[in-house]
Structure 1
Amino acid sequence: MGLTSEDMECCICLQPYSRTEKIPRMLHCKHTFCGPCLQTMSSLQSGLLTVRCPLCRWITCTGSILTLSGSLWVNTEIWDQILDRQQEEEEEEEEEEEEKEWMGANRQTQTTTQYECSPSGHSGLRLKLQKFLRRMKHKVL
């Protein structure tokens, strides 16, 4: 059973899971949320950190010695998919970048070709300049 795009984001903050800031952590009820949202939902009661699952209302308790993120399991199914999706996105970005570079080089080639193929516009200017210089030469002499 594959994960959907909805499974790849925290249903509280709607941000995609990541391997650095939005790590997918599982409560004891097996529902998964990002670490920062779990930290926000947690409360300290009688020396225990508790989190009530917003989906099933199950209460997960951990010792206050560890941080909540440090005491909850990472959802490895999502964790493995994060790297695969990041690699796919990076490859897509690289392809887009290469396409932009190719298009830019192609435009420069077209522009250069247009100037090289139409020297007649420059020859008219050259003739006018030559006539002007001859007139100036005759006036000076």
Structure 2
Amino acid sequence: MLCNEDLECVVCCYQYTRSDRIPRILHCKHTFCAACLEQLCKMDGVIRTITCPMCRWITCTRASLTLPGALWVNTEIWDQIPKVLQGKQDVTEDLKDTEAQLLKSTLPFSGKSVFMSTLQKVFSCVLLQAHEMTDC
């Protein structure tokens, strides 16, 4: 069980929600709300960079992907967020919105680039897990 302080973004100090303040994980494994990450990101040609406000690690993603399409949700925090109506959206609307954003971010590209994007996410996840196992 997480304490209440772990359920809020350290940048804006708002609690995470299932709509506009979704907890997203950077590559350094620090978590911030999607709204703050949108403000922190910078575009550099075809690359989007986000510098972690805690450790200064730079997370790079393709500029063609939206942040929801590029960064994983912190499920440990997500599971602790109440499943009640938040704002004017409920959980099913959030999922539909996320699916629409993912589709929109991949539509202009061929099926091969969608496959490569998915493969890159899986591969980076495998590398992170392997790195964690070697640190033990």
Q: Do these two structures clear the TM 0.5 threshold for a shared fold by scoring above it?
A: yes
1:50 corresponding residue in structure 2: 49
Q: Which string of whole-angstrom CA distances, capped at 9 and with x for unpartnered residues, describes residues 57-92 of structure 1?
A: 1000000111123210000000000026x59xxxxx
| Aligned-partner Cα distance in 1 for 2:69–2:24 | 10
Q: Name the SS for the 2:79 alignment partner.
A: helix
| Identical-residue share of aligned pairs (%) | 54
Aligned to 1:78: 77
Where in structure 2 are there 5+ consecutive unaligned residues? 86-136
CA distance in 1, matches of 2:68, 2:57: 17
The TM-score, its normalising length taken from structure 2, stands at 0.59
Q: Structure 1 stretches of 5 or more lacking a match?
A: 88-141
Structure 2 CA distance for aligned equivalents of residues 46 and 66 of structure 1: 13
Rg larger in structure: 1
Using the size of structure 1 for normalisation, the TM-score is: 0.57
SS of residue matched to 2:61: strand
The aligned counterpart of 2:30 is 31
Q: Kindly report which structure 2 residues correspond to 1:10-29, keeping only aligned pairs within 5 A, or say none.
A: 10-29=9-28
| Runs of 4+ with >6 A deviation | none
Alignment of 1:70-109 (within 5 A): 70-83=69-82
Counterpart CA distance in 1 for 2:82 and 2:62 is 31
Distance of 2:45 and 2:27 partners within structure 1: 19
Aligned residues: 85
Structure with the larger helix share: 1
Task: Give yes or no for contact 1:11–1:33 (8 Å, CA) kept in 2.
Answer: yes
